[in-house]
Amino acid sequence: MEHTLWIEKYRPKDFSDIKGQAEIVRKVEAFVRQKNMPHLLFTGPAGVGKTSLSLVIAKKLFDSEWRQNFLELNASDERGIDVVRNKVKDFARTRAIGGAPFKIIYLDECDALTREAQQALRRTMENYTQTCRFILSANYSSKIIEPIQSRCAIFRFKLLEKKDIFSIVEKIAKDENLAIDAGAKEALYEVSDGDCRNVENILQSAATLGRDITEETVFSMASVAKPKEIKDILELALGNKFVQAREKLLSVMLNYGLSGLDVIKQVQKEIIDLSISGRQKMKLIEKCGEIEFRMTEGSNEYIQLEALLSQFALAGSEKPE
């Protein structure tokens, strides 16, 4: 039996394997064909292909010598100025191996670099353009200082759409001989939020229990409540059945091992489909934001969730407009 992480096993090998980022891939592929490119800044959510595209660029540019000409660093682990002054500078100042036009340094999660390290990186990017190109990856471009942004071609990645997630799921199901029903596919898209890495991790975990993967299995492995269960809780509260709503909420949290923040995210999604006025929906979403803030500040999550359910009960008792 093969003991590999599917996120590595199914990492894209070619530009055509990158899903959901067609426009970005088209432009980057043109750079690779010309064997010349500027510094690149990839921004966007986790699990949408930033690191995969960087590796494909290196493999296509350098072929069999890509490992010698490609340095990957995770800036969230090593985020101080010494990393830029030592590791990055030492790699950047030497010429590429095997006649390659330049080396590539890939800095993952570079929005975790301190401002001092980013200032040092700016000078390094300027000084070694003859021998090295940088690919910077960040979840939030606003955390990258302006001088670095101005030195890079910026590409903003988006979350994968449902068809892209389904395409990845179907490929894995075929290769791994899995039976995944339509409900499980929808559930995978629901819990992944467009994150391919999340999909592959949940699928691999579910496959250890059996080859037949159902909606139930997906929600169980993802530690996420079924949307219908959350909706039932909210409808009980709206129907002024506060005690029953509270009991069901506690039961769901215990069954799935959910934290208060996990519940808030799911509640916020379900509000849109409730049979209440638009004004009430806006008020309740505002309350979700307030409760989430209180939780992150350290408030007791059970008390805060009860307070949120009380707001639903009050909204249900209001006369329709």
Name the pairing type of β-strands 39-43 and 103-108: unpaired
| CB atoms near residue 103 (< 10 Å) | 24
pLDDT tens, 3-55? 678 888 888 889 988 988 999 999 999 999 998 899 999 999 888 999 999 99
* Pairwise pLDDT comparison (115 vs 321), residue with the higher score: 115
Provide CB contacts within 8 A for 63, sequence distance 6+. none
Long-range contacts of 182-185 (CB under 8 A, 24+ apart): 183/214, 183/215, 184/213, 184/214, 184/215, 184/217, 184/218
What is the model's pLDDT at position 93? 83
pLDDT tens, 136-172? 999 988 899 999 999 999 999 999 998 999 999 999 9
Q: How far is CA 313 from CA 31, 111, 199, 243, in A?
A: 57, 42, 35, 10
Residue 106 Ramachandran class (φ > 0 left, ψ -120 to 50 alpha, else beta): beta
Q: Which helix (H) or strand (E) holds 280?
A: helix 278-296
> Is this model's pTM higher than 0.85 or not?
no
Q: In the numeric block, which tokens belong to residue 253?
A: 């949290």
Taking the domain 6-156, which CATH number applies?
Answer: 3.40.50.300
Tell me the mean pLDDT in the region 193-216.
Answer: 88
What's the fold here for domain 227-316?
Zinc Finger, Delta Prime; domain 3 (1.20.272)
Nearest residue to 137 via CA among 122, 125, 123, 155: 155
Secondary structure letter of residue 99 according to DSSP: T
Q: Which CATH class is domain 162-222?
A: mainly alpha
Q: Which helix (H) or strand (E) holds 18?
A: none
Handedness of CA 66, 70, 71, 72 (dihedral sign): negative
pLDDT tens, 230-249? 999 999 999 989 999 999 99
* Domain chopping of the chain, boundaries: 6-156, 162-222, 227-316
Is 170 within 8 Å of 42 (Cβ atoms)?
no
- Asked if 162-222 and 227-316 have one fold, the answer is no
What is the model's pLDDT at position 1? 41
